[in-house]
Structures are given as structure tokens and as C-alpha cells.
Chain A
């Protein structure tokens, strides 16, 4: 028995050890990594190397992919690794110890969760805003032209569940417009809402302006024509446990700078 047990234990140890080591190397990057102090001196771009891990809200997928490429072009030696998911999922992951350097949330609530966990370096900066729009199939079968049309009987409207940011915004807009929508489905995320409209399953869905933008011609946007429409703020911040704070700071500056703002504006985001 014993002669067998040992190699097996060894194999398992190697397997686990190998994986951990693999993660480690990814993280540590080049020897220029941590040191820190040279960042403030002259020739900053030369020292800004290593891999930056950015956790960004799913609605930022298109823009941040673009921004990462632009950032890498501006800082040779720097690499940006992106992870997209719902803001609350990302916040939970960071609080659970995920190795993020930068967190870009789609709402202030989830950013606040991370701030309250003492995991944010400095103060979060709002870098973009977003608001809801009515997405309808290109043919607009239910002939939706205004927010009030969503309350018409027989119209199949899909919204986000109240528990997620896009759903909370939808409820707020309904309340301020005095319109009661009876949705056929309250989806778990905004992508599912958009998907149902693209598939022609729903007559209309409440999604973000940027989602309509990103869907190309697959859906048509009808503006939410109400006063005091809800505006979502997108905060960004460095994670305090990051070993690459200078790089993180440079990336945040890049997103909030002229070049980043132009990319965000092109995608339909509002100014902060």
C-alpha cells in the first residue's frame, strides 16, 4: 500500500503546487513589478510595465476592451488583463480576495460595498454615466414610441429584476413617470433583456443606451422621454491590495482623460 500512496500524494501535491505557481507567475509579472518608488521619477512610461488586472462591469465590455488596447499601445511593456461580469459579482469577488488592481463598477452601490470593505485605494472617480432606453425589434411590432406605451395591455415588455441596477433604474423611471409596466419577465441581467428583444420574443425591453448602441442594427432605440430619468454613475478606483498601484493609477487617468472619454462617448455613455 505505502509504496503506492506516496507517488499519488506527490502527484496531487505537484498538481496543486503547479497550479498555484502558475497563478503566481502570472501575478508577479516582470521583476520591475513592485518596487514602487521609481514611478514618481522622470521617464514614467518606461517603468510602467507589468500586467494590470481590471475588473469591469459587463456593460463596459466593448469600451474597456478598446481602452485596454489603446493603453497598451501608449505604454509598451504594460499589459491589461480584463475580467467582465455583473458589478455585484465583481464586488463579491474582490471582497473574497480576487487579485484585481482596478475596479470599474456600473453603479455606486457596488463600489460602496468594496469601499466599506476597506479595499479601495483613495476615492472612486465617476468616469461615465448611463441611462435607460427602450430597445425594440427593428420592425417595432408593437409600435412603441414613448415610455407610456410600455404600459399598454398586450405589449410584451421585458425588464431587469429590481434587485439588479438596470431593474432599479427601470422602477425609478416608472415611478417618476407615473407609468405602471407589467413585464412578462424580470431578467437577471441586462444582457438577457437585450437577448429577448433581439430574438423577437419581447416587444420592448428596458436596457441602457449603450446596450442599444452596442447591439448595432439588431434593435432600435426609443428614448425614455420622461423628466428626471434615472442616471447611472460609473465609478472607477484602484484596489488597495494591488501591488501595481502606479500602473493602476495610470490606467484610471487614461480612462478619465480625453482619449478614454472619447471612446466612452462614442459608445453612447454620458459624460460624468
Chain B
């Protein structure tokens, strides 16, 4: 019997490969161009100055916090969008994804006029003695605003692909919805959850426009690495380039550590005895 899982033919035309190479170069060349301009003798000094360290540390802290916030808010959102069925669902999905297409500055303005001192909710918060603007909280909120759609999108897709059949079986085995979520749904979509969280973290790390508009810029409080880079560019391009490279390196390390490419198929069983009969079936009804 022909076994598709051992076939090695790939129907990729060579001109597609050529364009793919071009696409990869388009992204890699500017990085190389920047790396070529780095002032290597002073690199360490440049990226370890007080302001650089403060910005890097703040960026890592806020990006981590916003990733946690994205998980807390994004996982339920993705589940409701993937599993629920209610009027306005399509509209809600479109709105949730809005931060992907809106310029971050617009997002920052929206946050400002909502949570700012004169804002819709901010006014009440201000009365209660809570001031968000110009605080690290504001940075985390701005980052969460722009990063949330990445997590929701990634997870919702995985949830839809995973389907609901395992969940139905789990329910017939006596598992309550919360138990199904914890023991079946989340483990099954773990790859999507991880890649969504990584994307959200990376997006948070690079956030600039919304942070600038909503949170301001103060060393150690709201001036994240991208803001520091923008500022250093004004007076010290060498420092800006060095910090840019640092930002790219941090993002690359995080992505490489946690992000796995979508697998082609389920992993093939290892060491299955040859006598075990026909190959296991994929989870699909004929």
C-alpha cells in the first residue's frame, strides 16, 4: 500500500522558491545593513548604559506582564469566538482584530480618551484615586491593546482546527466544562497557545506608537526600549543602532526558544512494531 507519509515529493515550483528567497532577503538584508553600521568597539558600553539598561529591563517586564494579561483576556475571547454561536459574533471578531489594522498611535489615542484623566472611565478612576496615565500600567495596557489580537487570532485558528469532537467525548465521560477546558481543550491547543503568546510578547516588546501616545516617556517608568531607540537616534545614532540590534536579538531569542513552526501532520509514532497491523488512522472520518 502506498503510504503518503513516506512520499518525499513536494510540488513547489522553482520560481516560487526564487520569490521566497527574494522575500527572505527583503527582511534579512535591512537587518544585515543595520548590523554593518554597528559601532562594535563601543557596543557593550552603548547597550549597558544606565538608560539602556533601564529601558531594556522595563521592556522585558512590561512585555511579560502584557503577555500574561493577553493570556488572561485572550484565551477566553478566543474560546468564545471559536466555540460560541451568538448574534454579533462576526462583528465582535472584526472588532477584536481591529488593533491589527489600526495605527498604534490611534490605539494610544483611544486608550487616552478612555483611561486618561479626562477619559470615559479614567475620570471615575481619577476620582477613586487611580491614575493610569504616565505609569508603567499604562505601558502594559498599550502593549496589551496591540498584542491581544495576535494571541486571539492564533488561538482561535488552532481551536477551530482542533474541532470539538474530543471535547464532546470528554463531556460524555463525565467531565464538566471547566474540566474539559483544563484537561482536553487547552492541552490540545497548546502549540497554538504558545505561538500566540510568543507573538504577543514580541509585539509588546516592539510596541511604540500606542505607548508614546498613552503612557508618555520617562526613564525607568514608561520609556521602553523602542522609545529609547527613537530618542537616542536624535543625538547618538550609534547608541540607537546598538539598542536596535539588542531589541532584535532579544526578540529573536524569545521566538526561537518557544515558537515552533506549525507541524505538517501529527508526529509519526516512533518505534512502532512492524507487526502492529495497519497504520494508525488520522483523526478524521472517511
Direct contact of A and B (CB under 8 A): yes
- Residues on A close to B: CB < 8 A? 1, 4-5, 8, 12, 86, 88, 92, 156, 158, 161, 163-164, 183-188, 192, 195-196, 199-201
Which residues of B lie under 8 Å from residue A195 when comparing CB positions? Answer: 213
Choose one: B116, B216, B218, B235; the contact of A163 (CB below 8 Å). Answer: B235
Assess A164 versus B234: contact at CB under 8 Å? Given A8-B15, A158-B216, A196-B216: yes
**A-B complex: 9 closest residue pairs judged by Cβ atoms:** A185-B216, A200-B118, A184-B134, A1-B14, A4-B15, A163-B234, A163-B235, A88-B234, A201-B133
Q: Which one of B41-49, B59-67, B224-232, B263-271 is at the A interface?
A: B224-232
Which residues of A lie under 8 Å from residue B222 when comparing CB positions? Answer: 185
- Residues on B close to A: CB < 8 A? 13-15, 18-19, 22, 112-113, 116-118, 133-134, 212-213, 215-219, 222-223, 227, 230-235, 237
Would A1 and B15 count as touching, CB distance under 8 A? Answer: yes
Choose one: A1, A161, A163, A185; the contact of B13 (CB below 8 Å). Answer: A1
CA distance A196 to B213 in the complex (A): 8
Would B234 and A86 count as touching, CB distance under 8 A? Answer: yes
Would A5 and B217 count as touching, CB distance under 8 A? Answer: no
CA distance A199 to B15 in the complex (A): 53
Assess A192 versus B227: contact at CB under 8 Å? Given A1-B13, A185-B218, A201-B117: no
Would B217 and A188 count as touching, CB distance under 8 A? Answer: yes
Which residues of B lie under 8 Å from residue A8 when comparing CB positions? Answer: 15, 18-19
CB distance from B267 to the nearest CB of A (A): 33
Would B18 and A161 count as touching, CB distance under 8 A? Answer: no
| Chain B residue, CB-CB nearest to A192 | B212
Which residues of A lie under 8 Å from residue B13 when comparing CB positions? Answer: 1, 4
Assess A201 versus B15: contact at CB under 8 Å? Given A86-B234, A158-B216, A164-B234: no
Assess A183 versus B218: contact at CB under 8 Å? Given A8-B15, A201-B112, A201-B116: yes
CA distance A4 to B217 in the complex (A): 52
Would A187 and B234 count as touching, CB distance under 8 A? Answer: no
Which residues of B lie under 8 Å from residue A188 when comparing CB positions? Answer: 212, 217, 227, 230-231
Which residues of B lie under 8 Å from residue A200 when comparing CB positions? Answer: 116-118
CB distance from A110 to the nearest CB of B (A): 9
| Chain B residue, CB-CB nearest to A4 | B15
Would A185 and B112 count as touching, CB distance under 8 A? Answer: no
Would A5 and B15 count as touching, CB distance under 8 A? Answer: yes
CB distance from B55 to the nearest CB of A (A): 12
Would B227 and A199 count as touching, CB distance under 8 A? Answer: no
CA distance A4 to B112 in the complex (A): 52
| Chain B residue, CB-CB nearest to A184 | B134
CA distance A200 to B112 in the complex (A): 10
CA distance A92 to B234 in the complex (A): 9
Assess A184 versus B231: contact at CB under 8 Å? Given A8-B19, A200-B118, A201-B117: no
| Chain A residue, CB-CB nearest to B208 | A188
Choose one: A5, A192, A199; the contact of B118 (CB below 8 Å). Answer: A199
- Knowing that A4-B15, A187-B217, A199-B113 touch, tell me 7 more A-B residue pairs with CB under 8 angstroms: A1-B13, A88-B235, A158-B216, A161-B217, A185-B134, A186-B217, A186-B223
Which residues of B lie under 8 Å from residue A92 when comparing CB positions? Answer: 233, 237
CA distance A158 to B221 in the complex (A): 14
Which residues of B lie under 8 Å from residue A1 when comparing CB positions? Answer: 13-15
6 contacts between A and B (CB under 8 A): A5-B15, A88-B233, A161-B234, A192-B212, A196-B216, A200-B117
CA distance A200 to B134 in the complex (A): 13
Would B234 and A201 count as touching, CB distance under 8 A? Answer: no
| Chain A residue, CB-CB nearest to B237 | A92
CA distance A192 to B215 in the complex (A): 11
Assess A201 versus B118: contact at CB under 8 Å? Given A185-B218, A186-B219, A188-B212: yes
Would B18 and A5 count as touching, CB distance under 8 A? Answer: yes
Which residues of A lie under 8 Å from residue B227 when comparing CB positions? Answer: 188
Would B216 and A187 count as touching, CB distance under 8 A? Answer: yes
Which residues of A lie under 8 Å from residue B14 when comparing CB positions? Answer: 1, 4-5
Would B134 and A201 count as touching, CB distance under 8 A? Answer: yes
| Chain B residue, CB-CB nearest to A156 | B134
